[in-house]
Amino acid sequence: MANRVSETYVLRTYPFRESDLIVSFFTRDQGKLRGVARRARKPKNTFGSGLERLSLVNLSYSQKEARELVNLNSCELVRSQFGLLSDFEAGVALDYLAAVSEHLLPPHEPNEHFFRLLTATLEALHTKTSGCVWQAISYFSLWATRLSGFLPDLARETKLSGESKAIAREMLHSHISDLPARPWNKDTAADLRRFLIRQMEEHVERRFITPAVLEAL
């Protein structure tokens, strides 16, 4: 059984047996994996708060050949997203980022560009500037679609406004931290955001839950 430590984003956890968790996680060097964190639901465990949604951790795990689930041993918390949870909009954005990543990322395929995308988007949310949630969601949706290989030619999309097309061009050519200053709110590039969500839903052949929550904000 090979032991490994990987820089990791936790995507999703759900209960397993009496005291364990099944964890879906995205590693920088091995791609998306799933594993069992034994006794993680007990008050005293080796994981602490490291298995919270989109926590960045150095995760220790071991893997046997021909087994789908790896065994999680421990984790060292590098960055928590706890500071965002006091803002409901940011909390919904975290749900959205985690859900899209869970559905779009294929298992066992490293994707350095997607890992950097998550990092950049989370850093943008932590700025807590006005409208940063909507800018971050739009930027992430655009690049997640492009990195997954099914972003259409937006210039040909007649239902997108000229402003939204201009914003998309800016985002495709600049890091989120270097984008030109503009006021952002829920209505900014809303047609682009909804278009990209439809593209992703059609690609994975399922409806996402969080977009409806976003639209209700």
**Mean pLDDT in residue range 71-98:** 95
pLDDT attached to residue 68: 84
pLDDT confidence of 17, banded at 50, 70, 90? Answer: confident
pLDDT at 161: 97
pLDDT of residue 67: 77
| Residue 72 confidence (pLDDT) | 95
pLDDT for residue 1: 59
Residue 49 predicted with pLDDT over 90: no
pLDDT score at 151: 97
Report pLDDT for 102: 97
What are residue 63's DSSP bridge partners? 2
Q: How confident is the model at residue 106 (pLDDT cuts 50, 70, 90)?
A: very high
Query: How many whole angstroms separate alpha carbon 65 and alpha carbon 152?
Result: 38
CA of 137: how far to CAs of 7, 27, 60, 70, 103, in Å? 23, 21, 30, 31, 16
Q: Which residues pair with 21 in a beta bridge?
A: 15, 37
pLDDT higher than threshold 80 for residue 46: no
Residue 66 predicted with pLDDT over 80: no
pLDDT (mean) for 86-94: 95
Tell me the average pLDDT across 85-111.
Answer: 96
Q: What is the pTM of this model?
A: 0.94
pLDDT at 45: 78
Question: What's the pLDDT score for residue 64?
Answer: 79
Q: Residue 182 is encoded by which pair of tokens?
A: 């503009």
The per-residue pLDDT for 188 is 98
**Separation of alpha carbons 200 and 198, rounded Å:** 5
- Contacts (Cβ under 8 Å, ≥6 apart) of 190: none
Distance CA 42, CA 12 (A): 18
For the segment 148-206, what is each residue's pLDDT rounded down to a tens digit? 999 999 999 999 999 999 999 999 999 999 999 999 999 999 999 999 999 999 999 99
